[in-house]
Amino acid sequence: MKKIILIALLFQLNACYSDNQRQASQQTSPVDKLTAQEVTGRVLQYGLYTLVSGGEVVDDPKTSTGKGVSKPVITRDRTVERIPLVRDKYMAYQYRLSNIPEKSRVKLRRVLRHPEFRLPDGTTSTGSDFSITKRLNRGKVFAYDAYALNEDYEMVEGEWTFQIWYEDKKLVEQKFITYHPNEEEMARLTAPSWLDKKAMKRVTVQANTKERATF
């Protein structure tokens, strides 16, 4: 009888220990859970955008041209990867990053490669590479990235590649091809009444530069 009681007691103790282990493994913090998951990113939308208001050109040494656009209000024209070279048009995209194991803000790397520009001071530029900081909501980032075409030297045909990196991992890449539109398309895109003919959603850019647009 004593042996039976002892065996039963040991069984109960082992069962309690297993339950405690199971509960401890389940009681992980949200950050621990995110750390165990793969950090991912994807493009949600992209295309050609039009400036509605604002967009004052300001100095910004981090950009590829040394210039930026302050607090523009833009509206989406259409979903395309081919971007016509028209002054005050924007190429832009929205992206989402998931499973980032930070608490409130995350430091990212933003890379841009574009056709060669010859700047007014005689130097050339083929892109930029700098750090940005984004707010997190439950391990996710929702943001926009954009570039405004507002200088003559930017009107160069070719491929543009935008990238967002977290640590040493590229999470997002979006490519555009710029081209010179023909006269008919140029007239349509620059007509004063063009915006009134479109039922488009306006979005306000909360950013200091055209290269770091956050809608």
Dig out the tokens for 208 from the structure.
């200091």
Q: Is the pLDDT of residue 197 over 60?
A: no
Name the least confident of 7-11, 39-43, 102-106, 176-180: 7-11
Name, in order, each residue with C-beta under 8 angstroms of 179's C-beta and a sequence gap of 6 or more: 82, 83, 84, 85, 157
pLDDT of residue 102: 79
Band of pLDDT at residue 3, cut at 50, 70 and 90: very low
**Helix (H/G/I), strand (E/B), else coil: 31:** helix
Number of neighbours of residue 125 by Cβ within 10 angstroms: 18
So what's the pLDDT on residue 11? 41
CATH fold of 37-204, please?
A: Immunoglobulin-like (2.60.40)
Query: Mean per-residue pLDDT for 14-20?
Result: 48
What's the mean per-residue pLDDT of the chain?
Answer: 78
CA–CA dist 188, 86 (Å, integer): 11
pLDDT of residue 68: 58
Residue with tokens 């956050």: 214
Confidence at 55, pLDDT banded by 50, 70, 90: low
Mean pLDDT in residue range 75-94? 92
Q: Where is pLDDT greater, at 55 or 199? A: 55
Picking from 7-21, 87-101, 184-198, which range would have the lowest pLDDT averaged per residue? 7-21
Strand partners, 205: none
How many angstroms separate the Cα of 2 from the Cα of each of 6, 7, 16?
6, 9, 21
Between 32-36, 37-41, 103-107, the lowest mean confidence (pLDDT) is in 32-36
Mean per-residue pLDDT, 46-54: 83
Q: What is the pTM of this model?
A: 0.71
**Dist CA 76 CA 196 (whole Å):** 13
